[in-house]
Amino acid sequence: AKKVILDCDPGIDDALALMLALSLPEIEVIGITVVCGNVPVETGAKNALQVLQWMNRTDIPVYIGEAKPLKRPYVDAMDTHGRDGLGESFFTLETTQKPRTDAVSYLLDTLKSEEDVSVIALGPMTNLARAIQRDIQAFSRVKELVSMGGSYKSHGNCSPVAEYNYWCDPDAAAYVYDAFSTRPELSGKKIHMIGLDVTRKIVLTPNILEYMKYLQPDIGEKIKSITRFYFDFHWKQEGIIGCVINDPLAVAYFANHDICQGFDAFTAVETEGISLGQSVVDACGIWKRSANATILTSVNVKEFFLMFFCSVLGADRE
């Protein structure tokens, strides 16, 4: 199985991503690092432990990371994810496992001491930027970096052009993309960008939710409980019946790259002005800079849900 550290800000869709990562045989989650994003970092860590408890995997360590973006004031997304980050279900944590400190040291130590470790980033890139700043040599041992964030042609969700993870800490996202473009230690490596172009296609509808409950009533109920708030938000904001679940697609793509298609391009992130946080993708090569990212633009939606049903909910592929 491919070893991975999940860097996340749980978050409703982060919770679903974590369930998927823990269930797919192709993936071995060796640790979870939490960053401030949807909710403050302590709340996110508690939610990561909550999901580990549901999945009977409290053996996996959870590390608390950065509590604020590199330069800008912190703006959470509790309007989308609820005050507790899990759709205001206000679960009580039963596990006695406590989150540990600190995420950046854990990331660097693990990358140094273990071979072939990848990172899936499901929140703002603050922990990753800090890790690169502190020890790029160690960070460059990362096998693959998959990032849920940004958008190429799709509109943003925090501004007309910016997606939340990159918008929340644009300086961190810009720093990481720039490092993959200019730093010799990272040369040849690319960030796999799972942006809104592909994640917007992953809509959890009431029908799918019912089917999930039919497949596995216990986990299905939990998913229903955490997504209820998300359903309401999508109906009010976008007029969609159902909710877009972004983060699990990054996990599914990591397990099976065939699920999304795209192209390589030089990509940068805007750090000021009205397009703050926008991912700028030089698809036509106008800047003549070598590619630092693989931009995913199409997705096999049916295969995504099949993966989810067959792993998290124990369905049979036949």
Residue ranges binding Ca ion (CB under 5 A): 9, 11, 14, 122-123, 247
Q: What are the residues whose beta carbons fall under 8 Å from the beta carbon of 18, sequence distance 6 or more? A: 6, 8, 10, 29, 32, 48, 51, 52, 55
CB of residue 13 to ligand BDR, shortest distance in Å: 5
Give the integer Cα–Cα distance in Å for 109 and 119: 13
Orientation angle between helical segments 301-311 and 206-215, nearest 10 degrees? 30
Q: Rounded to the nearest 5°, which phi and psi values hold at 16?
A: -65, -35
Confirm if 269 and 150 have CB atoms less than 8 A apart: yes
Per CB under 6 A, 163 contacts ligand BDR: yes
163 or 197: CB nearest ligand BDR:
163
Per CB under 6 A, 247 contacts ligand BDR: yes
Per CB under 6 A, 31 contacts ligand BDR: no
Candidates 23, 227, 246, 271: give the one binding ligand BDR (CB under 6 A): 246
* 269 token code pair: 């992130």
Per CB under 6 A, 147 contacts ligand BDR: no
State the binding partner of 80 from ligand BDR, Ca ion, none, CB within 5 to 8 A by kind. Answer: ligand BDR
State the binding partner of 294 from Ca ion, ligand BDR, none, CB within 5 to 8 A by kind. Answer: none
State the binding partner of 77 from Ca ion, ligand BDR, none, CB within 5 to 8 A by kind. Answer: ligand BDR
Give the integer Cα–Cα distance in Å for 70 and 52: 29
| Stretch 35-74 residues interacting with ligand BDR (CB under 6 A) | 38
60 or 138: CB nearest Ca ion:
60
Long-range CB contact pairs, 228-232, < 8 A, 24+: 228/87, 228/89, 229/12, 229/81, 229/82, 229/87, 229/88, 230/12, 230/13, 230/80, 230/81, 230/87, 231/206
CB of residue 80 to Ca ion, shortest distance in Å: 10
Specify the stretch interacting with ligand BDR by CB under 6 A; choose among 21-29, 162-170, 256-264, 279-287.
162-170
Candidates 152, 164, 175, 253: give the one binding ligand BDR (CB under 6 A): 164
Single-letter code of the amino acid located at 240? I
Candidates 4, 5, 14, 171: give the one binding ligand BDR (CB under 6 A): 14
6 or 27: CB nearest Ca ion:
6
Query: Which residues make beta-bridge pairs with 64?
Result: 34
Specify the stretch interacting with ligand BDR by CB under 6 A; choose among 61-69, 159-167, 224-232, 278-286.
159-167
* 262 token code pair: 């795209």
Give the integer Cα–Cα distance in Å for 149 and 204: 19
State the binding partner of 279 from Ca ion, ligand BDR, none, CB within 5 to 8 A by kind. Answer: none
Candidates 21, 52, 122, 204: give the one binding ligand BDR (CB under 6 A): 122
From the CB of residue 221, how many other CB atoms can be counted at a distance below 10 Å? Answer: 12
Place of tokens 């295969």: 303
Residues that bind ligand BDR (CB under 6 A): 11, 13-14, 38, 77, 80, 122-123, 148, 157, 163-165, 246-247
